[in-house]
Amino acid sequence: MDLPVIESTPQKTGGCSAGSCGSTSDQMGGMSDEIRAKVQDHPCYSEDAHHYFARMHVAVAPACNIQCHYCNRKYDCANESRPGVVSEVLSPDQAVKKTLAVAATIPQMTVLGIAGPGDPLANPERTFETFRQLSVKAPDIKLCVSTNGLSLPDHVEELSRHNIDHVTITINCVDPDVGAKIYPWIFWQNKRIHGREAAEILIQRQQQGLEMLVAKGILVKVNSVLIPGVNDEHLKEVSKIVKAKGAFLHNVMPLIAEAEHGTFYGVMGQRSPNPAELKNLQDACEGDMNMMRHCRQCRADAVGLLGEDRGDEFTMDKIDAMEIDYEAAMKVRAEFRAKATADLEAKRAKAHAPKMPQAQVVQFVPRKEKSALVGRRVLMAVAAKGGLVAVHFGHANEFLVYEASADGAKFVGHRKAEQYCDGDVSCGDGESVLDKTIKALEGCEVVLCSKIGYEPWGNLEAAGIQPNGEHAMEPIEDAVMAVWHEMLAAGKLDAKPSANKVA
Amino acid sequence: MALEIIESCVNCWACAPLCPNKAIYEAKPHFLIDADKCTECLGDFADAQCVAICPIEGAILNELGEELNPPGSLTGIPPERWAAVQAEIRAR
């Protein structure tokens, strides 16, 4: 197959060079103003928007037309949170009812996505019936869809007719030999096709779908699952190609593979990447492509802000019992959105302001070459909420990871943690959970939180991670940079690169 | 001649729209095939469509009660490996 690689060209941006915005909106640095306007209130596409806006997925699409080695079609579990897992498959009517109920209860709701648990475009009637009804009943909600791409070319026309301006395609490879190690089979033209031939067809259809969407002006995000030893190096090429074809964002996610998930990779012992491997690959792709780093790999029926799941509040029996004034709810959403957008814009303007001392700094500068300034880069983990250092160490179920340098604080990812201090339930396990958290923070030199207990303090220090509770309730970037400057002043940031970094 | 869906079906809906005879219907606890309507796709397709898309090994049987997607054929996981890993998980 012929997949041309075009040299990536610098994109004109709104005044800040790509990768140098220094704020959490850094990920949007290379986007055009038009794209920026389209994604600014989408929690999955805009890193800073995800503090303000919420999304939900409705599980109307159970059928799938391919098999991926990281997916197990048998699983259906309320206690697991990962893509492809749902508790209850909905009919289109139920999905519409649920969306309207959630949008009436959570005014932050801006986006409704269909992401499975199978492939939305392998269930076109169910998917498009849901979209059709919602376009009429909740025209203010953006619709999006996430697909493996096999049927995509057949549905681009219909997608463009709905209120859909974003599509996500999962593209794990552009080489059929790599694909044959990821996809055991596809269902294509009334046959099950295995192996390399299957991968070749899938890749061709994904690329064709991507091109057709871009030609229609529909924004395309590409998701890739990083599978060590299978497609890790290859994803750099994938990133270049999808960028050249017009995808606006690349989201490289770590493989999730545990034996108990019953997936091929889980059972066969394929390992997941560690956080440093993920970050190194994202950094390597970043010169060519806007990289998404805040994906939480949510369930196919997730509800709420990223990183939280309020799905339990909206089971069908609970929704049936709700009384909802749809008109009033839409007004409340509009008011909330206006205020949140104003807040966000103010925050973005503030973050950009000190970065533009000279009026015209528009050329693309690769990140690696920029920081000739003193002081090495430091990874810091933050127990955060709403953009602030606001969570007790023991209550954090995730940490945001920032890379601090003379260029500013840059959001680079997140690490999941179990809450070791969870009242009286899990205290007996406290220590081992703490150990796991410390392991999850590998590579970070500082952890910022609102408060921290005496015991975890000691253990963190022993593990070479400096706890810091002095910046409680401060904005994350300010706190991270304050700590970085303290370290610099104390002579802790001399040239020695930190152990976990490659570049 | 007719195929049969058994209890390992996960109700994923993939097969139903493909059936040329509309023999597959939603039922509890799982989808079923109307034996009077099922032709095993003879004359319509080279492969029985439900068998060709079903993601669950062993969920569809032929008239002889044989699994048309036997263990390991769809996931690529060798059955002995599956058994060993399950035993290991139970022993934890």
Among chain B, residues having any CB pair with chain A shorter than 8 Å are 10-14, 17-18, 45-47, 49, 52-53, 55-56, 74-77, 81-82, 85, 88-89
Q: How far apart are CA A461 and CA A464, in angstroms?
A: 5
**What is the model's pLDDT at position A357?**
38
Q: In chain A, whose CA is at the least distance from the CA of B75?
A: A264
Least confident range from A84-93, A356-365, A425-434, B73-82: namely: A356-365
- Across the interface, do A125 and B77 touch by the CB < 8 Å criterion? no
Residue range A24-320 in CATH 3.40.190.80? no
**Cβ contacts of A257 within 8 Å, gap of 6 or more:** A70, A263, A265, A266, A270, A271, A272
Q: Residue B30: count other Cβ atoms within 10 Å of its Cβ.
A: 14
pLDDT digits (tens, 9 = 90+) for A254-272: 999 989 889 999 999 999 9
- Across the interface, do B77 and A62 touch by the CB < 8 Å criterion? no
β-partners of residue A144 are A113, A166
Q: What is the mean pLDDT of residues B25-39?
A: 95
| Residue B1 in this model has a pLDDT that exceeds 90 | no
**What is the model's pLDDT at position A363?**
39
Q: In chain B, whose CA is at the least distance from the CA of A63?
A: B14
**What is the model's pLDDT at position A117?**
86
Name the percent of chain A lying above pLDDT 70.
79
CA distances to A252, A367, A373, A485 from A22, in Å: 21, 11, 15, 15
| Residue A10 in this model has a pLDDT that exceeds 50 | no
Q: What is the mean pLDDT of residues A308-323?
A: 83
Per-domain residue ranges for chain A? Answer: 24-320, 371-489
> Based on the number of CB atoms within 10 Å of its own CB, is A331 exposed (0-12), middle (13-18) or buried (19 or more)?
exposed
| Residue B51 in this model has a pLDDT that exceeds 70 | yes
On whether the CB atoms of residues A293 and A254 are closer than 8 A, the answer is no
Highest mean pLDDT among A18-32, A357-371, A380-394: A380-394
Superfamily of domain A371-489: Dinitrogenase iron-molybdenum cofactor biosynthesis domain (3.30.420.130)
Structural domains present in chain B: 1-92 (3.30.70.20)
Q: Which residue has the higher pLDDT, A436 or B2?
A: B2
Nearest to A62 among B13, B52, B82 (CB): B13
Q: In chain B, whose CA is at the least distance from the CA of A62?
A: B12
Nearest to B14 among A72, A122, A185 (CB): A122
β-partners of residue A415 are A399
**What is the model's pLDDT at position A46?**
66
**What is the model's pLDDT at position A38?**
73
Nearest to A64 among B14, B45, B76 (CB): B14
Residues of chain B contacting A190 with CB distance shorter than 8 Å: 18, 45-47, 49, 52
Task: Report, in angstroms and rounded to the nearest whole number, the Rg of chain A calculated over CA atoms.
Answer: 22
CA distances to A48, A127, B40 from B1, in Å: 59, 34, 7
Q: What is the mean pLDDT of residues A182-201?
A: 97
Q: How far apart are CA A413 and CA A444, in angstroms?
A: 11
ipTM of the complex model: 0.96
| Residue A12 in this model has a pLDDT that exceeds 60 | no
Q: What is the mean pLDDT of residues A212-235?
A: 95
| Residue A16 in this model has a pLDDT that exceeds 50 | no
Nearest to B89 among A126, A187, A259 (CB): A259
